[in-house]
Amino acid sequence: MVWKWIYPKNSEENMAFLETSNTGITVILALLAMYIAYYIERKYKARIQFHLEANCFAAQQGYYIVEVVVIINNKGLVRHVIDTLDLKIFGIKPGKNIELRKKEGIHSAVNFPELFVDANILKNKGKLFIEPGVVQQITYIARIPEDIRLIFVKSSFKYHKNSTHSAQKIFELSGECKSPDKIISR
């Protein structure tokens, strides 16, 4: 019969067969779990939430003081090392024509012609390490001329072999900026 070739003949052979089968099944299940964790769930890939905030303070001597906060939330399971953290702040004066950017090939993006800040925040400070589960806030204080109404803040950082992550946001500067005497200390 065919079954004699498949099934062992005595109890010792039964035990050896079961041990070999269990080991094989265990290895297959472990490989499947690794595949799911790495490629489907992406547990050990970068999971970063990156956004910008800005606080505008009352104008003084012809300038607004603007606090730009770069917020990086490491939601993954691996530590991230950030080599560069670039920050650019552009502005547009009231009454200026609203023109579209041409060099990026985006026809609907508005051009902010005035450049006020173009800096690598980490220059001369080394690398930034962000552990899993940590929300890192980096603050940059800028002065923006009082005649600027809107600012466009753009930030990007590099990590893991030149992978880039970026965020951008528009903020309005107005006479309703926070007054220094109404600031709640942190």
Compare 32 and 114 and report the one with higher pLDDT.
114
Give yes or no for residue 186 having a pLDDT over 50.
no
Distance between CA atoms of 157 and 70, rounded to whole angstroms? 10
pLDDT at 177: 56
Which residues face 55 on adjacent strands? 67
CB 137 within 8 A of CB 71: yes
pLDDT at 94: 83
Above pLDDT 90, what percent of the chain? 32
Distance between CA atoms of 135 and 18, rounded to whole angstroms? 50
Mean pLDDT to the nearest integer, 87-116: 82
For the structural domain made of 48-178, what CATH number should be given? Answer: 2.60.40.10
pLDDT at 38: 67
> Using alpha carbons only, how large is the chain's radius of gyration in Å?
28
Per-residue exposure over 121-152, b if at least 16 CB sit within 10 Å of its own CB, e if not: bbeeeeebebeeeeeeebebebebeeebebbb
Give yes or no for residue 1 having a pLDDT over 50.
no
Mean pLDDT of the chain: 80
Give pLDDT tens digits for 41-67.
666 666 788 999 999 988 889 999 999
CB 64 within 8 A of CB 178: no
Compare 171 and 80 and report the one with higher pLDDT.
171
Distance between CA atoms of 48 and 166, rounded to whole angstroms? 11
